[in-house]
Amino acid sequence: AQSVTQLDSHVSVSEGTPVLLRCNYSSSYSPSLFWYVQHPNKGLQLLLKYTSAATLVKGINGFEAEFKKSETSFHLTKPSAHMSDAAEYFCVVSDQNDKIIFGKGTRLHILP
Partner 1 sequence: EAQVTQNPRYLITVTGKKLTVTCSQNMNHEYMSWYRQDPGLGLRQIYYSMNVEVTDKGDVPEGYKVSRKEKRNFPLILESPSPNQTSLYFCASSRTADMNTEAFFGQGTRLTVV
In angstroms, rounded to a whole number, what is the distance separating the alpha carbons of residues 109 and 112? 10
Cβ proximity of 24 and 5 under 8 Å: yes
* CA neighbours closer than 13 Å in the CB half-sphere of residue 86: 12
User: Of the listed pieces 12-20, 31-39, 64-72, 73-81, which binds partner 1 according to CB under 8 A?
Assistant: 31-39
Binding marks (x or -) toward partner 1, 43..82, rule CB under 8 A?
xxxx--x-x-------------------------------
Is residue 40 near partner 1 by the rule CB under 8 A? no
Task: Tell me if 22 contacts partner 1 by CB under 8 A.
Answer: no
90 lines the binding site for partner 1 (CB under 8 A): yes
Q: Which is nearer to partner 1, 8 or 15 (CB)?
A: 8
Which pairs count as long-range contacts for 47-56, CB under 8 Å and 24+ apart, including other chains? 47/76, 47/89, 48/76, 50/74
Complex with partner 1: residue 15 or 95, whichever CB lies closer: 95
Question: For the chain, what is the radius of gyration of the CA atoms?
Answer: 13
Which residues here bind partner 1, judged by CB under 8 A?
6, 9, 32, 34, 36, 41-46, 49, 51, 90, 94, 98, 100, 102-105
